[in-house]
Amino acid sequence: MTTSSVVASESRLSSGSGHGPLPALTGAEIIAMARDAGITGRGGAGFPVWRKLAAVAAAGRPAVVIANAAEGEPASGKDKALLTAAPDLIVDGLELVARAVGARTTYLYAPAGAHSSLRSLPVELRTAPDAFVSGEESAAVAAVTGRDAVPADKRIRITESGAGGAPTLVQNVETLAHLALIARYGPGWFRAAGTADEPGTFLATISGAVRRPGAVVEAGYGVRLGDLIAAAGGPTGRLRAVLVGGYHGGWVPADPDLPVSRAAMARYGASPGAGVVVALPAGSCGLVESARIASYLAGAVAGQCGPCVNGLPRMAQTLSDLALRRVRPGLPAEVDRLARLVTGRGACRHPDGTARLVLSAMRAFDTDVAAHLSGHCLAEEGR
Ligand code: SF4
């Protein structure tokens, strides 16, 4: 990619144009291709792509497709990098999924800052606001139809009734680019990277205590965490922990041999998500950093649902009290109670993701919790 480094052995998406025309596949063949490749969505949720395609196609009505490049996550830059490096692959992927689901209307939903370089593409552009929840599927649907980009009621499936009441497919732009390559080179080629259960490559944005923060790298699932960090120039010093999966992700040990895959990350309550990796230096307090992120997330809400209006600010404040050693009896239990209280209660998964990050911090930094409760900070004391 032009603005990033790429893990050399897995530079599929960065290989630019020159892949030749798209094969003339039918809609059914495209869905079967996605199933055989085992590709999952690269926007964070990791849902099997073929199931989503099949659900929209099964509606049997003219559909709408939205290529999602909203990327509201502050620590993520991979979709912006891809819009610059391989817009042709995104457009090809959009054409494929439109064929698969029977769509006549397609949009590219991207931040305003990316529009000037995209105007020549044969696709209708829509602006994604610079907000954390703007990339949520129902928020994207709202935005392309001229409403505020905030999530809607999750009981209404957009695959059945989305933009203008039409069955709607929202697909991350990286996913579309992978599909454009799979159509040319086949599911077997795609599966040659990654693991048997999690095939293919993914784009990761590496930031924090690395020599090239913000680097976007491409690697197969199962790549060693140390190799990803090395591809961003390596750590700037000893690391305390690594946040994987972004602000809705989880903290994992700074173990260079840890495989970056859903299977390996699950024991830490994390997953590769949209490929966001943040390295925490040894001199930083994980509780302070987690409280900062939780406060950001508590302020990044649409304010429509109880868990976000009441629960997230209280949870973030309680974690901040612990991080800043404003200690009172029962503080860890209160953080835990609030995290469980908000989970599953919002119109979208923002409260769930925020609670996941907070619970992960309480587990990963349990020795820091004990130290803070007795008035000490291990990071400040250089321990
Ligand atoms: S759960 Fe929170 S972020 Fe999601 S729609 Fe409701 S208020 Fe907005």
pLDDT at 9 over 60: no
Of 274, 94, 262, 85, which is closest to residue 170 (Cα–Cα)? 94
Strand ranges, E, within 101-177: 103-111, 124-128, 168-172
pLDDT at 195 over 90: yes
Q: Per-residue pLDDT averaged across 348-377, rounded?
A: 93
Please say whether the beta carbons of 52 and 31 come within 8 A: no
**Confidence tier at 10 by pLDDT (50, 70, 90):** low
Among 40-49, 213-222, 297-306, 371-380, which stretch is predicted with the lowest mean pLDDT? 297-306
In this structure, the residue with its CA closest to atom 8 of ligand 1 is 302
Written as one letter, the residue type at 99 is R
Q: pLDDT tens digits, residue range 14-38?
A: 665 678 889 999 999 999 999 999 9
Q: pLDDT tens digits, residue range 204-218?
A: 999 999 999 999 999
Report how far Cα 326 is from the mean position of its chain's Cα atoms: 33
Q: Per-residue pLDDT averaged across 126-138, rounded?
A: 90
Query: How confident is the model at residue 271, as a pLDDT?
Result: 93
Please say whether the beta carbons of 223 and 102 come within 8 A: no
Please say whether the beta carbons of 80 and 116 come within 8 A: no
Sheet containing strand 276-281, edge to edge, reads: 215-220, 201-208, 276-281, 239-244, 250-252
Query: How confident is the model at residue 16, as a pLDDT?
Result: 58
Give me the helix-helix angle, 366-373 and 286-298, nearest 10°: 100
pLDDT at 7 over 60: no
Predicted model pTM? 0.92
Query: How confident is the model at residue 45, as a pLDDT?
Result: 82
* 222 or 18, higher pLDDT: 222
Q: Are strands 168-172 and 215-220 parallel, antiparallel or unpaired?
A: unpaired
Q: Is 305 in the pocket of ligand 1 (CB under 6 A)?
A: yes
Q: Is 349 in the pocket of ligand 1 (CB under 6 A)?
A: no
Q: How many whole angstroms from 348 Cα to the centroid of ligand 1?
A: 5
Q: What residues pair up with 206 in beta bridges, in sequence order?
A: 215, 277
Give me the helix-helix angle, 49-58 and 87-101, nearest 10°: 40
Q: pLDDT tens digits, residue range 320-340?
A: 999 999 988 889 999 999 999
In this structure, the residue with its CA closest to atom 1 of ligand 1 is 346
Distance CA 306, CA 309 (A): 5
Query: How confident is the model at residue 3, as a pLDDT?
Result: 39
Distance CA 273, CA 250 (A): 10
DSSP letters, 313-351, are HHHHHHHHHHHTT---TTHHHHHHHHHHHHTT-SSSSHH
Provide the terminal-to-terminal Cα distance of the chain, rounded to the nearest Å: 39
The number of the ligand 1 atom at minimal distance from the alpha carbon of 309 is 7
Query: How confident is the model at residue 313, as a pLDDT?
Result: 94
Of 350, 341, 10, 16, which is closest to residue 203 (Cα–Cα)? 10
DSSP letters, 271-283, are --TTTEEEEEETT
Q: How many whole angstroms from 104 Cα to the centroid of ligand 1?
A: 30
Report how far Cα 345 is from the mean position of its chain's Cα atoms: 21
Among 55-64, 256-265, 372-381, which stretch is predicted with the lowest mean pLDDT? 372-381
* 54 or 157, higher pLDDT: 54
Q: Of all residues in the chain, what percent carry a pLDDT higher than 70? A: 95
For a ligand 1 pocket test, name from 138, 150, 345, 356 the mutation site with the most ligand atoms within 8 angstroms of its C-beta. 150
Q: Could you identify the residue written with the tokens 């901040």?
A: 320
Those residues whose C-beta lies under 8 Å from the C-beta of residue 56, and which sit 6 or more positions away, are 63, 101, 103, 159, 167, 168, 169
Query: How confident is the model at residue 15, as a pLDDT?
Result: 62
Query: How confident is the model at residue 328, as a pLDDT?
Result: 85
pLDDT at 190 over 70: yes
pLDDT at 12 over 80: no
How high does pLDDT run on average in the chain? Answer: 91
